[in-house]
Amino acid sequence: MSSDPSDEIAASLMRQAGRGASAAQVAESVAATCREIEDALTPIVGTRGVAALLHRSAHVAAQTHAWLSDTEPGLPQTVDLRALTARLAHQSAADAAAGGALLLHTFHTLLASLIGASLTGRLLRSAWAPFLSSTPMNTSP
Amino acid sequence: MISNAVINRLTTGVPGLDDVLGGGLPEFSFNLIAGQPGCGKTTLAHQLMFALATPERPAIYFTVLGEPPLKMLRYQQQFEFFDGEAIDRSVRFISLSDDAMAGELERVLKRIVDEVAAHNPALVFVDSFRSVVLASETDGHPHNGLQQFVQQLGMLMTSWQATTFLIGEYSTETDANPVFTVCDGLIWLRQSVQRNSMVRKMEIVKMRGQPTLPGLHTFRIGAAGLEVFPPASVANPVPADAMAALQAPRLLMGVPGLDAMLGGGLPSGYSLLVAGPSGSGKSILAAAFLAEGARCGETGVIAAFEQHPNRSRSRLVADLIASGQVGLVENRAADLSIDEVVFMLMREIRRLGARRVVIDSLSGFELALAPTFRDDFRESLSNLVTTLAGAGVTVLMTSELEDRYTDLRFSPYGTAFMTDAIIVQRYIEVDSRLRRVMAVVKVRASAHSDELREFSIDAGGIRMGAMLADHEGLLGGRPTKKRDVDPKARTTGPR
């Protein structure tokens, strides 16, 4: 199994959008993953640490999907998933899936650049688990 | 029936640290690892944690406000001891930064209590403790709150059967700090800087319940983490068979004629100083000594402390090293300490089961030491010789000696008295040629020759010649021919 689950995440979100899910439903999937990330990392790096990583990820991903940009000024103190969910839900389902996948991919790449792919994979195993366990069989007609 | 508490001692996994601690780390002890920024506190803590933690004996590493946890994980995983697989299995990292930023010690303590209760760790680390102190100072009553905090934390951890480490930045140990009083163990790390040299030193200021080794102990941080170099006498106790080795027959020097001058070879277990001016043949004699050992089936070790080791090493020695019959100890790292040199030598001696050791040369050895140790060079050398003698090996040391014809010296370090035997080489001028002479000055508790013999060096090594009995004033460097020569003395020297 690859430690970088980006392809599986993108495929899973695109399948969700393709099956007719609304942008709000896709947004909720992305937010659920972010909550898992928050749960996994907050004990280790603190709330502000996770918020800073997500803020940076959104900033980088916004170069492709400008609407992902976190408009909250200053240093993020907490992870504001409601705002993220709202931004995703305002797009089309396909755009929300693409933007959400890019955000999560950016987050993974950012963390791996800091602490290595191995440790990143280990720490975020629970967050990625839903994507990695959704085999093509589940979605085939 | 008397049944006193038994204190289990944990093996720390840090090379040399258990010796310095006096036999390992007492279980359930409450320890402080202190020192200035960059002295290796966090690295030591991580090394201890990864060595000690198991799924049955898990560890929690609390980070407070200091090095951000991501940075810490980033840098610490560069060390070989870092085991990513252990994370969330036997090692758990928990950030207290959110609690500490609130500036309430009560809240930090409560969080620690909750996490300890939830995960039941046997090992607890709090890094950096100093930031807990600073955070507490912001609420206006620094020391009272801190003392209570430390007391409670100590009590909690002990009753929770957790061995605890507080990691803290302290610039001076003379600060009246309640933490120093409460803790069972205080490990102080220092960086001693002199000119461009930096030497890391560790002191076990206290460790309740066991006899630690007093004083400063050098350590080095490499890819494998910390390596502590305890005093040579502790790290290398005299093995039982070392004295038996002293009873063994004499060792041959590999130079025909020289063994007879030594009274039948160099007694096993002796230390021999070969002193002479530059180019006189000291290293060639040392090489012959190792080669003779190899010929007799004995392995050897050479400690080469030269500025350009490859250039100065003879083909003979290079071949012996390549064949594995001689181990090489070089000054690859800068700023060596005597304990580190002894450690490297003893490791090589044990690896090869070596019986012969060459240190070539003492001058290079002194230069390889960090400046801070040079003042104590004579004492350090004495420790080295004692340790090697204790290990039962026979040692040959070379010493550069400025050729002075006004006085007779054997060593610039006053080391002559430390060694059991001395051979001196000198240049003399005869018939407008620079010729070499050699004499055995001393072989402790043994008869030896008092001849001053000429010798030459050719492709085969050193060739001992005869005495220059028809000359006098050899030690003055410019001998003169005797006017009235006894013909018998020209061929046979006095014994």
Rounded Cα–Cα distance for residues B425 and B440 (Å): 9
Asked if residue B124 has pLDDT above 80, the reply is yes
- Residue B356's φ and ψ, nearest 5 degrees, are -120, 135
Q: For residues B280 and B454, is the Cβ–Cβ distance under 8 A?
A: no
Are the Cβ atoms of B70 and A114 closer than 8 angstroms?
Answer: yes
Question: What are the residues whose beta carbons fall under 8 Å from the beta carbon of B34, sequence distance 6 or more?
Answer: B41, B167, B168, B169, B170, B173, B186, B187, B188, B189
Kindly report, residue by residue over B400-434, the tens digit of the pLDDT. 877 666 666 666 666 667 888 999 998 888 888 88
**Beta-strand pair B433-443/B480-481:** unpaired
Rounded Cα–Cα distance for residues A69 and B316 (Å): 71
- Residue B303's φ and ψ, nearest 5 degrees, are -100, 110
> What confidence score (pLDDT) does residue A104 get?
94
Residue type, position A38, single letter: E
- Residue B466's φ and ψ, nearest 5 degrees, are -95, 175
* Residue from B95, B111, B112 whose CB has the most chain A CBs within 10 Å, to mutate: B95
DSSP state of A64: T
> What confidence score (pLDDT) does residue A138 get?
40
Read off the pLDDT of each residue in B52-73 and give the average, rounded to a whole number.
89
> What confidence score (pLDDT) does residue A1 get?
42
How far is the CA of B90 from the CAs of A61, B58, B80, B122, B249, in angstroms?
35, 5, 17, 10, 55
Q: Which residues pair with B95 in a beta bridge?
A: B63
Rounded Cα–Cα distance for residues B179 and B189 (Å): 16
Q: Which residues pair with A24 in a beta bridge?
A: none
Are the Cβ atoms of B69 and A46 closer than 8 angstroms?
Answer: yes
Kindly report, residue by residue over B326-360, the tens digit of the pLDDT. 999 987 677 788 888 888 899 899 999 999 999 98
Instruction: Give the minimum alpha-carbon distance from A97 to chain B in angstroms, rounded to a whole number.
Output: 29
Read off the pLDDT of each residue in B249-254 and give the average, rounded to a whole number.
90
- Is B93 within 8 Å of chain A by CB? yes
- Residue B329's φ and ψ, nearest 5 degrees, are -115, 120
With bands split at pLDDT 50, 70 and 90, how would you rate the model's confidence at B236?
A: low
- Give burial (CB, 10 Å; 0-12/13-18/19+) of B218: buried
For B:47-86, CB contacts with A below 8 A are 68-71, 73-74, 77, 84-85
> What confidence score (pLDDT) does residue A136 get?
47
Are the Cβ atoms of B74 and A44 closer than 8 angstroms?
Answer: no
Check residues B156 and A98 and name the one with the higher pLDDT.
Answer: A98
Tell me the pLDDT of chain A averaged across its residues. Answer: 86
> What confidence score (pLDDT) does residue B477 get?
66
Query: How many alpha carbons fall within 13 Å on the CB side of residue B162?
Result: 27
* Residue from B64, B70, B78 whose CB has the most chain A CBs within 10 Å, to mutate: B70
Question: What stretches of B77-122 show up as alpha helix (H) in DSSP?
Answer: 97-101, 105-119
List the single residue in A with minimal CA-CA distance to B73. Answer: A115
Return the C-alpha torsion angle A38, A43, A44, A50, nearest 10: 30
Cβ-based contacts of A47 with chain B (< 8 Å): 98
Are the Cβ atoms of B95 and A122 closer than 8 angstroms?
Answer: no
Q: Which of A47, A111, A119 sits opposite B87 (nearest CB)?
A: A119
Rounded Cα–Cα distance for residues B153 and B328 (Å): 50
With bands split at pLDDT 50, 70 and 90, how would you rate the model's confidence at A23?
A: very high
Are the Cβ atoms of B84 and A44 closer than 8 angstroms?
Answer: no
Q: For residues B450 and B312, is the Cβ–Cβ distance under 8 A?
A: no
Task: Report helix, strand or coil for B468.
Answer: coil
Rounded Cα–Cα distance for residues B436 and B347 (Å): 37
Are the Cβ atoms of A49 and B84 closer than 8 angstroms?
Answer: no
The DSSP result for B151-182, as a single string, is HHHHHHHHHTT-EEEEEEE-S-TTS--HHHHH
> What confidence score (pLDDT) does residue B113 get?
86
The total of other beta-carbon atoms located within 10 Å of residue A46's CB is: 25
- Flag the least confident range among B182-186, B246-250, B429-433: B246-250
Tell me the pLDDT of chain B averaged across its residues. Answer: 83
For B:327-356, CB contacts with A below 8 A are none
Compute chain A's Rg from CA coordinates. 14
**Beta-strand pair B356-360/B9-10:** unpaired
Kindly report, residue by residue over B269-301, the tens digit of the pLDDT. 999 999 998 889 999 999 999 999 999 999 999
Rounded Cα–Cα distance for residues B141 and B136 (Å): 8
Are the Cβ atoms of A45 and B70 closer than 8 angstroms?
Answer: yes
With bands split at pLDDT 50, 70 and 90, how would you rate the model's confidence at B106?
A: confident
Cβ-based contacts of A48 with chain B (< 8 Å): 97-98
Are the Cβ atoms of A115 and B77 closer than 8 angstroms?
Answer: yes
> Mean pLDDT: which of B142-146, B224-228, B238-242, B482-486 is highest?
B224-228
Two tokens, residue A23: 């942008």
Are the Cβ atoms of B69 and A123 closer than 8 angstroms?
Answer: no
Rounded Cα–Cα distance for residues A25 and B250 (Å): 89
How far is the CA of B400 from the CAs of A107, B289, B315, B335, in angstroms?
63, 18, 21, 21
Question: What are the residues whose beta carbons fall under 8 Å from the beta carbon of B9, sequence distance 6 or more?
Answer: B18, B23, B24, B25, B26, B27, B210
Interface size between A and B, measured as CB pairs under 8 A: 50
